[in-house]
Structure 1
């Protein structure tokens, strides 16, 4: 191989390029449907191949193996089983609301039974696919492209007359993204399309009233609420759905007493009946669901009927509620309205989906009109040429008979009768029967009709209102022929029902926390100390500890971080050095006091907890996160109000960087940040200085650190307030906010504490709001002291603060402001 053909490339670059190409191939070429016809490429190729084979609804069924072979050989060079699986789904009446194929044979069942092999099953196009999907494909309505080997032409999209993406739904998993669109009722969707044609800015409430929810082919119930609204408003949501069941009395056998039974007649969409019965039997055997004596599947061709026979002492309504709470009889459909728009994946809401389809439908009608107009004009040109020749028939006969050959005759006709080449060819090819009077009259009548049709088509092409009226009339015709009554019932109050089920499905944490809280004494206090101890103490015990009073250096109890009344049931956030946050389950400390890690999720074990904060009440403002590299970002307090049992990542950190401090922020206050050299920076809390960002952002850099310098803390202060500074060698200072000049991000700030010794360094900065400040020392022997903040005189930047009476070798570790109090 010549050297110039060898191009060195880094392995990671080649891997990135190859992976992206593969990902886009899967996204565009396999997994996601097109917003225009609602089909994936394999489905489009199956329908087009069957159209080419002539498998219309009025023709006999053809073996599926023949269809699969045609699709593989001409359009889709992938596995035959993948093509057959896609074909099967297009046939299944329990998977599609309006199946595009009509099948003959075993195509599977709701019990997850597999379909028969393709050599046994037969198929043909369904009427709705033949008329509303393929009827206009010969009218130049869509573009064609070469197939994989250039031997055939295939459509890039089918001329759909209805939004099948919504009617049948779609499920697909691509690389890094997925789509899951529920099926809908044809009549409701067409009504919404017509309303949007008439009024493109139709109000959101009216649109949702026309399309109130999905319409699953298997029936069931949809619980209306925020899930449905979020899906249609944003393109993503969780739609609660539920099976249909009723209570009746059954006769178990001859001579036996009648018993109550729960009879399930409809299951949620895409739930296997046999799988559901099997899992239900397991839960009954394990004792998780009681009151059930027997489970029988009495389903037949008439419909589904699963009989759950109850014991004589069981309450049928309670058993039904248990089935809905503990089994998939009530489940969620995770909707993601992701589709290809101009070859790019986009998440659309309901209005955007409908408008995109209307744009495409308008384009196909316009292209169909132009195609019909061209054919009409071509035919009219030929007919006019024939009429002109018949009007001077003797002369035409003479010219043809005198001509030496056909080319001479054509040229003579074009010159003497002013005919075009197409007209001259038509005259030469005219049969003798055209010379009869009746045929001549027929030609003149056809010419008049063609002229009238040309006028109509030109008006349709040039006048958009007429085109839209045509679209509306065609949609109404399709609705009349193919719309069916809604199968899925809509149930109001879905949010309350979902919350009730969630409380029953996950009783282990929330219910136990509530039960543990109810067992606590109403006058108790929650105490969290610097050594991580969490316990519930009585006011009398708290009084004996004197944690809210000043104390000189000595062997004291570890300073308190929080003392909060149990009666207020505070929500506490625990922040880890890794940038994660979780709710502290402190309610269990009443029976089992212990270290902080005991009351955190298991996934946080081993991580250092840097701060515990009560959620501000009322919930306003934001929380600021300061990292050790000098970055700071704010998150809205709303992001912390609905934390589940799992920890959430709120700060994306680089390697070697940790979370340093969490600061409650209000935009009427200032933020003060300090470094180990005594440098202090004051910034106004606003979007310009400290923007509110997303959870995974790192935040802007507040200050550049000098070599060997590190961030030691941050605190907020209101106008006229102050902050507390502490150095390693025991200097403690109450610094007035007004003595600091306001700065911008990246400024050097000013020296806030002048050290008395050259080797000293700042170790902490805290807010001056707390009444009691604990001072812990390094070494871990438990020696500490407590100060009253108001005993320290306020100073400006020039002051050196108060020097603590430390023993030789002692060093201050941190300041611990007390939150709350007895």
Structure 2
């Protein structure tokens, strides 16, 4: 039978649910805030760090003692002071060892304590630790009940300090971060020498202005170095306790040699990263952005870091602009981060957001109180000892009388009373005389006792002055701070960008922004199907690095067409299947942000499954060209003419520009005024010139196929199509590197549909005509081979010849190599100036 429990009314306290929940939650929140997550403004430590340091102090793990296993330290901390998870305690211990996490590590370690790549530390059974010199000297040297208060631990079996008697403001030196309930803290680390200078200045001049204080402590000093690029966030944090501090990694430009026989390239070398940035994750982020095409111009990333320091090499492509890529890395990766400073700490048992001055003043107040307690305790000890020594000296001065009293006294109590009555001694003095060994009666020992009395008197006077005179106490504190600075100070690691450097950088960025806001742009189309847009200035800078060479060289990608445009113009894109689409120039990314460009086919609607080779031609439709004729030529030699106006402002679905027969594709598309001439070239070296007019080439509808332009034998193919005037010259290049330049006036105008006239004599049997272009004066042309090699020359380097004259060989090709195309590179200077 169950026993019924009865409660009296006195045992039940009716409480509203919301009241109980509110009270319990507030108690829990304050427990987390005060007892776990936020540091104390006095010693800059959270409870777990304080308990680790005190436990190691009790174990005697001073800097001059051997290292001890971390597992032993963690066990003592858990068993005596911190009843939480062992991994949480070990993680806190590890951070106090890591020199990339703490500006001044409070612990020294042996073994693997992790790395800046976020590699985990070894298990606590493998690693060893002991107190670092600064941790022992500046935090634990004076620990004791005389200097700080002690409280019971969690089970009242031990005593632990409420706060450590810090001699330095550890809250600023190493900073702190933590997330509590409804609040968080993120205090940056600082340089020890600068902080001590600020403390001494506040001691001398309590009303020191913020500006002068900020001159002494100009900003945080992070353990990983890097560079602070704006001081406004620093001043906000120092004045109010909250501010955003932009930090940037240290990068430089270097010229590197990729390998034997290869050209040198530019590289961005990063030697320092912002605080708390994971190097391995940062490198992975860059690789991901490169693969996505969001950052272009990077060819390789290598981590060459070693025990001597960090070194990450970002190798660039030849056409890349290092400063622009570095700016992209700052914007898109953690190479530039914003440290959100929130200086929240526990002061007088309550969380408070503190300014730099308030943190320094709180530390000075605490240090003054600690020193007064310490000196007062020492003064009491010295006075007690001086009192004892004074009694012993009285006994030595009256040695015969003392011995006579001791001879006659029946017991110790009587002797003590007699001594007190005879020489007016206290109980402590009488007891010390009775317990004084016989060796004290020697002359040497008597002199030592008198010397000790003099030293005690001098020290008592000094201590009384220190306790009673605040100015002397502050002078002693300054002396102590200067000694610590001399012992532990080191150079600043984090650079702070100067005003002149900021102005220069802003000027460069303004120039880049001005280039991006240009009303005119250079649009370049590459051989591999990419398109990019850049300002005339950026284009000119890039072209100035291109040298003319008659030697074949390997290449990644080259420009095949260059146009001067504005963002409102359209680009007509014609695909090999005869379809036409339009793309706005403004939709093309600016080349400063995309050095390589973007695939032109990717800008077209429904481009899924298409490749860059599917694009046959691209034409910028400016106002002048819209009033001209569009000529379409297929691989079978068919030619079609229609007004360019018909293919402007197309919908996303596009239109059919030419109807094609089976096995025929669109090969060329060009704009020409009505009444000009058109020259077609075959691989057999035959050229056909005919007039573009209604008689020779009538205007057709979009769905028409077009008549035959040139008749091609089965062994030949179409290799060129150029609109010309009588004063123009043509440049012909064969597959084996032979070239010839001829005037158009050498060719008679014929009828469309003919076979053409032989105009190129081949010196080799296996040679054929590869390409035909217009020989534009003062414009570089580039010859491309099937093995991805190219040579850049000027048309003036090729002599002018007649139709029947032999050709000159520009260069020698390999056995299996053949010229596939000849391209005009760049714009005439007149176009750029316009």
Q: Same fold (TM over 0.5)?
A: yes
1:497 positional shift: 10
Q: Does 1:310 align with 2:300?
A: no
Q: Helix, strand or coil for the counterpart of 1:374?
A: helix
C-alpha distance in 1, partners of 2:468/2:56?
35
In the TM superposition, what whole-angstrom CA distance separates every residue of 1:467-524 from its partner, at most 9, and x where no partner exists? 11111111111111101000000003598899999999xx9xxx99x999xxxxxxxx
1:158 positional shift: 0.6
What is residue 2 of structure 1 aligned with on the other side? 7
C-alpha distance in 2, partners of 1:515/1:24?
58
C-alpha distance in 1, partners of 2:38/2:24?
20
Q: Does 1:177 align with 2:177?
A: no
C-alpha distance in 2, partners of 1:378/1:503?
75
What is residue 441 of structure 2 aligned with on the other side? 435
What is residue 221 of structure 1 aligned with on the other side? 227
C-alpha distance in 2, partners of 1:375/1:195?
33
C-alpha distance in 2, partners of 1:497/1:326?
22
Q: Does 1:241 align with 2:247?
A: yes
Q: Helix, strand or coil for the counterpart of 2:140?
A: coil
What is residue 796 of structure 1 aligned with on the other side? none
Q: Does 1:387 align with 2:381?
A: no
Q: Helix, strand or coil for the counterpart of 1:486?
A: coil
In the TM superposition, what whole-angstrom CA distance separates every residue of 1:121-151 from its partner, at most 9, and x where no partner exists? 1111111111111111137111111111111
Q: Helix, strand or coil for the counterpart of 1:271?
A: coil
C-alpha distance in 1, partners of 2:304/2:407?
85
1:406 positional shift: 2.8
- Structure 1's 287 and 354: CA in aligned 2 closer, same or farther, altered over 3 A? same
Q: Does 1:415 align with 2:421?
A: yes
What is residue 757 of structure 2 aligned with on the other side? none
C-alpha distance in 1, partners of 2:478/2:131?
25
Moved more, 19-28 or 385-394: 385-394
Counterpart contact for 1:139–1:372, Cα < 8 Å: no
In the TM superposition, what whole-angstrom CA distance separates every residue of 1:527-567 from its partner, at most 9, and x where no partner exists? xxxxxxxxxxxxxxxxxxxxxxxxxxxxxxxxxxxxxxxxx
- Structure 1's 259 and 341: CA in aligned 2 closer, same or farther, altered over 3 A? same
C-alpha distance in 2, partners of 1:440/1:283?
84
Q: Helix, strand or coil for the counterpart of 1:317?
A: helix
In the TM superposition, what whole-angstrom CA distance separates every residue of 1:628-674 from its partner, at most 9, and x where no partner exists? xxxxxxxxxxxxxxxxxxxxxxxxxxxxxxxxxxxxxxxxxxxxxxx
C-alpha distance in 1, partners of 2:413/2:495?
73
What is residue 210 of structure 1 aligned with on the other side? 216
In the TM superposition, what whole-angstrom CA distance separates every residue of 1:680-737 from its partner, at most 9, and x where no partner exists? xxxxxxxxxxxxxxxxxxxxxxxxxxxxxxxxxxxxxxxxxxxxxxxxxxxxxxxxxx
C-alpha distance in 1, partners of 2:470/2:42?
20
Moved more, 419-428 or 471-480: 419-428
Q: Does 1:191 align with 2:211?
A: no
Show the 5 A alignment for 1:4-43: 4-43=10-49
In the TM superposition, what whole-angstrom CA distance separates every residue of 1:584-627 from its partner, at most 9, and x where no partner exists? xxxxxxx9xxxxxxxxxxxxxxxxxxxxxxxxxxxxxxxxxxxx
**Structure 1, unaligned stretches of length 5 or more?**
517-590, 592-822
Q: Does 1:360 align with 2:370?
A: no
Which residue, 157, 167, 171 being the options, matches 1:161?
Answer: 167
Which residue, 74, 85, 88 being the options, matches 1:82?
Answer: 88
Moved more, 164-173 or 387-396: 387-396
What is residue 290 of structure 1 aligned with on the other side? 296
What is residue 301 of structure 1 aligned with on the other side? 307
Which residue, 426, 430, 449 being the options, matches 2:432?
Answer: 426
C-alpha distance in 2, partners of 1:2/1:495?
76
- Structure 1's 139 and 198: CA in aligned 2 closer, same or farther, altered over 3 A? farther
Which residue, 377, 383, 400 being the options, matches 1:377?
Answer: 383
Which residue, 243, 251, 258 being the options, matches 2:257?
Answer: 251
Q: Helix, strand or coil for the counterpart of 1:175?
A: coil
Which residue, 489, 493, 500 being the options, matches 1:487?
Answer: 493
- Structure 1's 367 and 204: CA in aligned 2 closer, same or farther, altered over 3 A? same
C-alpha distance in 1, partners of 2:295/2:179?
35
Which residue, 60, 68, 73 being the options, matches 1:67?
Answer: 73
Q: Helix, strand or coil for the counterpart of 1:133?
A: helix
C-alpha distance in 2, partners of 1:441/1:102?
46
Q: Does 1:125 align with 2:131?
A: yes
Which residue, 472, 495, 503 being the options, matches 2:478?
Answer: 472
C-alpha distance in 2, partners of 1:212/1:246?
24
1:257 positional shift: 2.5
Counterpart contact for 1:139–1:368, Cα < 8 Å: no
What is residue 331 of structure 1 aligned with on the other side? 337
- Structure 1's 165 and 181: CA in aligned 2 closer, same or farther, altered over 3 A? same
Counterpart contact for 1:166–1:184, Cα < 8 Å: yes
What is residue 231 of structure 1 aligned with on the other side? 237
C-alpha distance in 1, partners of 2:412/2:190?
62
Show the 5 A alignment for 1:305-704: 305-493=311-499
C-alpha distance in 1, partners of 2:410/2:355?
70
**Structure 2, unaligned stretches of length 5 or more?**
1-5, 520-586, 588-834
1:394 positional shift: 2.3
Show the 5 A alignment for 1:737-816: none
- Structure 1's 56 and 503: CA in aligned 2 closer, same or farther, altered over 3 A? farther
Q: Helix, strand or coil for the counterpart of 2:24?
A: helix
Q: Which has the larger radius of gyration?
A: 2
- Structure 1's 498 and 338: CA in aligned 2 closer, same or farther, altered over 3 A? farther
Q: Does 1:142 align with 2:153?
A: no
1:8 positional shift: 2.5
Q: Does 1:105 align with 2:111?
A: yes
TM-score using structure 2 length? 0.59
Counterpart contact for 1:169–1:183, Cα < 8 Å: yes
What is residue 782 of structure 2 aligned with on the other side? none
Which residue, 51, 59, 68 being the options, matches 1:53?
Answer: 59
- Structure 1's 412 and 497: CA in aligned 2 closer, same or farther, altered over 3 A? farther
Q: Helix, strand or coil for the counterpart of 2:234?
A: helix
C-alpha distance in 2, partners of 1:342/1:205?
28
C-alpha distance in 1, partners of 2:13/2:505?
59
Q: Number of residues paired by the alignment?
A: 511
Counterpart contact for 1:98–1:168, Cα < 8 Å: yes
Counterpart contact for 1:226–1:495, Cα < 8 Å: no
C-alpha distance in 2, partners of 1:515/1:428?
102
